């Protein structure tokens, strides 16, 4: 058996991959039984006719319904599915550009196994899975099953989760928890007993007034959310945008509050002050549904607009007027929940502050606010009962009693002996399976991944594309794209309850295999094959649809979507008090502030500027920064710099600069965008560029990567979210 060597991430070149007879012919399109795509009429996507096959998109998490036109076995066009509630016939640019992902010639084509520090060889699936299974068995035997960690993203990971549980491990994490929604969802759940939803249940189309705190819709192109947002604007909604940057959303707003970065809680406390002390809150909602109003009232007695002005850099009158704008529109006003929430380490408290204001506005459960959704429950497939009590390498509830998942950062640290302090580690982490997440670009302080990799006995990466994390792997397995596989169906809680199907529209290219197939075959090799009582995941989908009175053929004839009538749910609060908790006793008991408090964050050093990061409409971060169709419309990122700061550093619009952070870490060169649309104390860089894997022919070294400059983060003690806007840069 091949011995693992200490791995070193190098900018892998094509020559770093050795060919092998085992995968001869790997560039051919491979066919395999049961994987043919099915059109609405039951024909397959590989027949010679042109056909349209419904599915749902995976270029981001939103799950928009797509119709894919397939001709002679080749997908030629992706359009929005008009009967799908999440797309309504429209897609964002990334969804339309999904073909660039499918037909990217740089895709991973065969399983790869590391043979030396900087070389991989192509191997057969059998050899790759056999090797992984032996390593996993050894780790399980030596350290326990919980020493195997699953780090994942997206729907394709579902069968790996099952495999992990069958194996006896609950050690799993997804970067989106600590970076994106974890602190937001915790803050809302601590207040209302429920979060605002993966696809936010926010009535942007119906509200009169909406406030956005650092949420830049229009650059963030979450399809249906943007559709509702633009409908609201057309209907005359008044928006308040709080952002150090004049975003696209700020350009459409009645008010732009260019807040000093890190001072959001001060602003929110001042808004609470005005709403309460000017009697502009929803008296009935507060009376009927909340507890802790008196405590909140005295908590914000002194947090006046004048008080907040000193911290936020905003005008006190603007703070007061925007609070009034919200309060005078009760109950048709709300604060949008936002995403990518980990900024300064007090993020759960910021989410609490936003949730509390929404309670004061009576927005929760209102059809013009954060409405209650309905959903279709997908029936369970009759998998055999697992005999294992799955264990976790970390005592997460001890460290984060009010958290809802495991921060990936902690799993990474648990892989480095002696790194995690506090005695809450039950077992060492010795093996990772990384599914569909480029950790090096998704987790701050990426250096730690290199360190952890030195201590692992096994690192497997399942991906469609070469990416920075594949450079650390012992084994790389080529995943299919979302256009070549069945995945679990999508049935979110939403204003129009539905189920939609993801299915292959073409056969898998090269030697790629769907995640479910990889998990299932790995289970066979681990002696757990009986737990996977299907041959093809299609059987699981067929069974579930049958239970819903449908079938694959039937759902396809309905455009890939099943719907049901909306049933108004009862408003219930799953908090300990069964009320909306303005004052949180459970937070107090756990040792946290029961109401949000403003804490001042350190200022950038002289000559340094806070590094803010975000999105562009054409890309989903490093997931798409090699996609030919999307790179054509947005080829490289630019760093936004205020003209005054550009003058200080002698920079002109279009110049290339290198950014250097507070620790001296330097970025790739990046173009300067000189603009008054940003404050003087910060710069802004869209995320996902500056790729370092040479196999990416369009993304390699184009633009700069913000993530490598995020060498520090501030941990949110409530959830373990990693607040990363604490880093600052200057220009080289
Ligand atoms: S918002 Fe865009 S990328 Fe995301 S699922 Fe919808 S179409 Fe795809």
pLDDT digits (tens, 9 = 90+) for 73-103: 999 999 999 999 999 999 999 999 999 999 9
Q: In whole angstroms, give the CA distance from residue 34 to residue 32.
A: 6
Mutate to test the pocket of ligand 1, among 55, 56, 58, 59 (most ligand atoms within 8 A of CB): 59
The reported pLDDT for the residue numbered 39 is: 54
Residue 13 has pLDDT above 60, yes or no: no
User: Exposure of 387 by Cβ count < 10 A (0-12 exposed, 13-18 middle, 19+ buried)?
Assistant: exposed
Pocket test for ligand 1, best of 61, 81, 84, 92 (most atoms within 8 A of CB): 92
Atom of ligand 1 nearest to the CA of 62: 5
Mean pLDDT, residues 204-210 taken together: 98
pLDDT score recorded for residue 476 = 98
Query: Per mean pLDDT, which of 30-39, 269-278, 402-411 is the most reliable?
Result: 269-278
- Please state the atom number of ligand 1 nearest to the C-alpha of residue 56: 5
Residue nearest to atom 6 of ligand 1 (CA): 64
pLDDT of 474 > 60? The answer is yes
Residue 38 confidence (pLDDT): 56
Calculate mean pLDDT across residues 454-458.
97
- Examine the pLDDT at 16 and tell me if it is beyond 80: no
pLDDT at 47: 58
User: Tell me, what's the pLDDT at 118?
Assistant: 83
For 691-711, what is the mean pLDDT? 95
Which of these, 253, 8, 267, 256, lies nearest to 119 by C-alpha position? 8
Tell me: pLDDT of 18 over 60.
Answer: no
List, as own/partner pairs, every contact residues 546-553 make where C-beta atoms lie below 8 angstroms and the sequence separation is at least 24, other chains included.
Answer: 547/379, 548/376, 548/378, 548/379, 548/499, 552/38, 552/501, 552/503, 553/38, 553/42
pLDDT tens digits along 176-187: 898 889 999 999
197: Cβ contacts below 8 Å, ≥ 6 apart: 373, 492, 493, 494
Q: How far is the CA of 97 from the centre of ligand 1 (A)?
A: 10
Q: 51: which strand partners?
A: 70
DSSP 643: H
**pLDDT at position 49, please?**
77
Please check the confidence at residue 10 and state whether its pLDDT lies above 50. Answer: no
Classify the C-alpha dihedral 61-470-638-174 as positive or negative.
positive
Beta strand ranges found along 62-116 (DSSP E): 65-71, 74-80, 112-116
- Ligand 1, atom 4: closest residue by C-alpha: 60
What is the H or E stretch that residue 641 is in? strand 638-641
* C-alpha to C-alpha distance for 237 and 255, rounded to whole angstroms: 12
Residue 2 has pLDDT above 90, yes or no: no
Three-state SS at 66: strand
Specify the ligand 1 atom closest to the Cα of 91: 7
Residues with C-beta less than 6 Å from any ligand 1 atom: 57, 59-60, 62-64, 91-92, 94-95, 221-223
Averaged pLDDT for residues 677-698:
96
Task: Tell whether the model's pLDDT for residue 33 goes beyond 90.
Answer: no
- State the distance from the centre of ligand 1 to the C-alpha of 226, rounded, in angstroms: 11
95 Cα to the center of ligand 1, angstroms: 5
| Ligand 1 pocket mutation pick from 54, 101, 219, 222 by most atoms within 8 angstroms of CB | 222
Residue appearing with tokens 């989410």: 351
Which residue did the predictor score with more confidence, 14 or 632? 632
Q: Which of 65, 78, 87, 91 to mutate to test the pocket of ligand 1 (most atoms within 8 A of CB)?
A: 91
pLDDT for residue 48: 62
Among 47-61, 122-136, 147-161, name the one with the lowest average pLDDT. 47-61
pLDDT of residue 43: 53
| Mean pLDDT score, 229-238 | 97
The confidence score (pLDDT) of residue 31 equals 31
Binned at pLDDT 50, 70 and 90, residue 45 comes out as low
% of the chain residues with pLDDT over 90: 89
Closest ligand 1 atom to Cα of 93: 2
pLDDT (tens digit per residue) in 538-583:
999 999 999 999 999 999 999 999 999 999 899 999 999 999 999 9
Per-residue model confidence as pLDDT tens digits over 128-145: 999 999 999 999 999 999
CA separation for the pair 521, 152 (Å, rounded): 18
117 pLDDT tier (thresholds 50, 70, 90): confident
Q: Please state, in angstroms and rounded to a whole number, the distance separating the CA atoms of residues 53 and 505.
A: 6
List % helix, strand, coil for the chain (3-state, nearest 5): 30, 20, 50
311, 313, 658, 680, 726 from 605: Cα distances, Å? 17, 18, 18, 13, 11
Residue 19 pLDDT exceeds 80: no
Looking at per-residue pLDDT, the higher value among 2 and 148 belongs to 148
Taking the C-alpha atoms of residue 481 and residue 594, their distance in angstroms, rounded to an integer, is 45
Q: How confident is the model at residue 81, as a pLDDT?
A: 97
Mean pLDDT within 166-193: 94
Judge whether 354 and 187 are in contact, CB under 8 Å. yes
Number of alpha carbons in the 13 Å side-chain half-sphere of residue 429: 32
- Find all residues with CB under 8 Å of 281, minimum gap 6, and list them: 275, 327, 330, 360, 361, 362
Mean pLDDT score across all residues of the chain: 93
Give me the helix-helix angle, 515-525 and 125-143, nearest 10°: 60
Q: Which among 60, 84, 98 is the best mutation to test ligand 1's pocket, defined by most ligand atoms within 8 Å of the CB?
A: 60
Asked if omega into 331 is within 30° of 0 (cis), the reply is: yes
78: Cβ contacts below 8 Å, ≥ 6 apart: 57, 66, 67, 68, 69, 91, 95, 96, 98, 99
The contacts of residue 140 (CB under 8 Å, 6+ apart) are 147, 148, 167, 168
CA 225–ligand 1 middle distance (angstroms): 11
**Residue 613 CA to ligand 1 centre (angstroms):** 20
Please give the share of the chain, as a percent, with pLDDT higher than 70: 93
- Tell me: the pLDDT tens digits for 640-667? 999 999 999 999 999 999 999 999 999 9
Reported as a pLDDT band with limits 50, 70 and 90, residue 504 is very high
CA of 472 to the centre of ligand 1 (A): 29
Q: Atom 8 in ligand 1: which residue has the minimum CA distance?
A: 95
pLDDT above 60: residue 669:
yes
Mutate to test the pocket of ligand 1, among 54, 55, 64 (most ligand atoms within 8 A of CB): 64
pLDDT band (50, 70, 90) for residue 25:
very low
The yes-or-no verdict on residue 20 having pLDDT over 70 is no
> Domains in the chain, please, with CATH?
181-373 (3.40.228.10), 609-731 (2.40.40.20)
> Tell me, what DSSP letter sits at residue 507?
P
Residues 180-203, mean pLDDT to the nearest whole number:
95
pLDDT for the residue 23: 35
Taking the CA atoms of 217, 219, 225 and 226 in sequence, report the sign of the dihedral they define: positive
Query: Can you give the pLDDT at residue 179?
Result: 87
Identify the H or E element spanning 101: helix 98-102
Alpha-carbon distance of 277 to 365, in angstroms, equals: 24
Query: Which of 11-15, 24-28, 468-472 has the least mean pLDDT?
Result: 24-28
More confident residue, 409 or 24: 409
Average pLDDT on 371-385 reads 95
The SS3 assignment for 163 reads: helix
Residue 663 has, within 13 A of its CA and on its CB side, a CA count of 12
Beta carbons within 8 Å of 559's beta carbon, 6+ residues apart:
40, 54, 65, 67, 81, 82, 83, 84
Counting every residue, how long is the chain? 732
* Closest ligand 1 atom to 80 CA: 7
CA of 56 from ligand 1 middle (Å) equals: 9
Per residue in 585-626, pLDDT (tens digit) is: 999 999 999 999 999 999 999 999 999 999 999 999 889 999
Nearest CA to ligand 1 atom 7: 95
Ligand 1 centroid vs 424 CA: distance in angstroms? 39
Count of Cβ atoms closer than 10 Å to residue 590 Cβ: 15
As a whole number, mean pLDDT of residues 211-219 equals: 93
């Amino acid at each position: 058996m091949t011995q693992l060597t200490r791995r070193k991430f190098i900018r892998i070149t094509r020559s770093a991959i050795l060919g092998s007879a085992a995968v001869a012919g790997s560039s051919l399109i491979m066919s395999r039984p049961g994987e043919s795509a099915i059109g609405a009429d039951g024909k397959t996507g590989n027949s010679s006719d042109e056909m349209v096959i419904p599915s749902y998109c995976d270029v981001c998490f939103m799950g928009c319904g797509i119709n894919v036109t397939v001709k002679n076995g080749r997908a030629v066009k992706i359009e929005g599915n008009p009967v799908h509630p999440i797309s309504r016939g429209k897609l964002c640019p990334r969804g339309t550009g999904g073909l660039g992902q499918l037909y990217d010639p740089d895709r991973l084509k065969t399983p790869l196994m590391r043979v030396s520090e900087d070389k991989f060889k192509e191997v057969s699936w059998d050899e790759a899975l056999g090797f992984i299974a032996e390593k996993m068995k050894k780790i399980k035997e030596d350290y326990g099953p919980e020493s195997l960690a699953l780090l994942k993203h997206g729907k394709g990971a579902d069968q790996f989760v099952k495999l992990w549980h069958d194996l006896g491990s609950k050690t799993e994490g997804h970067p989106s928890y600590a970076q994106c929604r974890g602190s937001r969802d915790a803050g809302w759940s601590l207040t209302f007993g429920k979060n605002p939803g993966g696809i936010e249940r926010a009535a942007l189309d119906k509200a009169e007034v909406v406030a956005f705190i650092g949420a830049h819709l229009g650059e963030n192109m979450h399809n249906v959310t943007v559709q509702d947002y633009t409908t609201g604007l057309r209907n005359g909604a008044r928006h308040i945008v709080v952002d150090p940057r004049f975003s696209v959303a700020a350009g459409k707003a009645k008010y732009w509050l260019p807040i000093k970065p890190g001072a959001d809680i001060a602003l929110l406390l001042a808004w609470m002050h005005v709403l309460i002390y000017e009697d502009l809150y929803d008296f009935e909602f507060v009376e009927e549904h909340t507890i802790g109003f008196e405590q909140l009232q005295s908590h914000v007695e002194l947090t006046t607009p004048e008080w907040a002005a000193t911290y936020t850099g905003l005008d006190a009158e603007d703070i007061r007027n925007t609070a009034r704008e919200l309060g005078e529109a009760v109950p048709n006003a709300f604060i949008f929940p936002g995403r990518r929430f980990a900024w300064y380490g007090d993020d759960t408290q910021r989410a609490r502050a936003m949730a509390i204001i929404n309670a004061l506005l009576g927005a929760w459960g209102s059809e013009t606010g954060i409405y209650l959704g309905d959903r279709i429950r997908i029936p369970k497939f009759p998998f055999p009962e697992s005999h294992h009590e799955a264990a976790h390498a970390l005592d997460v509830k001890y460290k984060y009693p009010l958290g809802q998942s495991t921060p990936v950062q902690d799993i990474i640290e648990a892989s480095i002996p002696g790194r995690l302090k506090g005695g809450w580690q039950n077992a060492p982490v010795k093996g990772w399976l990384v599914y569909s997440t480029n950790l090096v670009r998704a987790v701050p302080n990426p250096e730690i991944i290199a360190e952890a990799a030195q201590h692992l006995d096994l690192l497997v990466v399942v991906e469609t594309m070469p990416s920075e994390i594949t450079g650390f792997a012992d084994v790389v397995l080529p995943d299919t794209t979302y256009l070549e596989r069945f995945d679990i169906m999508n049935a979110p809680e939403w204003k129009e309850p539905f189920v939609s199907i993801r299915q292959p529209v073409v056969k898998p290219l090269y030697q790629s295999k769907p995640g479910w197939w990889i998990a299932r075959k790995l289970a066979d090799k681990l002696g757990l094959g009986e737990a996977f009582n299907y041959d093809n995941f299609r059987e699981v989908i067929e069974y579930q649809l049958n239970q819903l009175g449908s079938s694959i053929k039937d759902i396809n004839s309905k455009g890939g979507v099943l719907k049901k009538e909306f049933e108004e749910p009862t408003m219930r609060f799953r908090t300990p008090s069964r009320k909306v908790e303005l004052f949180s006793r459970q937070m107090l008991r756990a040792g946290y502030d029961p109401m949000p408090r403003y804490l001042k964050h350190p200022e950038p050093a002289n000559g340094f500027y806070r590094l803010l990061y975000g999105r562009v409409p054409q890309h989903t971060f490093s997931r798409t920064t090699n996609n030919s169709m999307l790179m054509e419309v947005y080829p490289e990122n630019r760093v936004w710099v205020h003209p005054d700061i550009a003058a200080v550093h002698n920079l002109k619009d279009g110049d290339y600069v290198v950014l250097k952070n507070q620790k001296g870490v330097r970025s790739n060169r990046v173009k300067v965008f000189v603009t008054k649309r940003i404050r003087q104390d910060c710069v802004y860089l869209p995320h996902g560029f500056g790729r370092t894997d040479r196999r990416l022919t369009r993304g390699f070294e184009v633009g700069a990567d913000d993530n490598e400059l995020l060498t520090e983060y501030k941990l949110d003690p409530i959830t373990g979210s990693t607040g990363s806007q604490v880093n600052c840069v200057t220009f080289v």
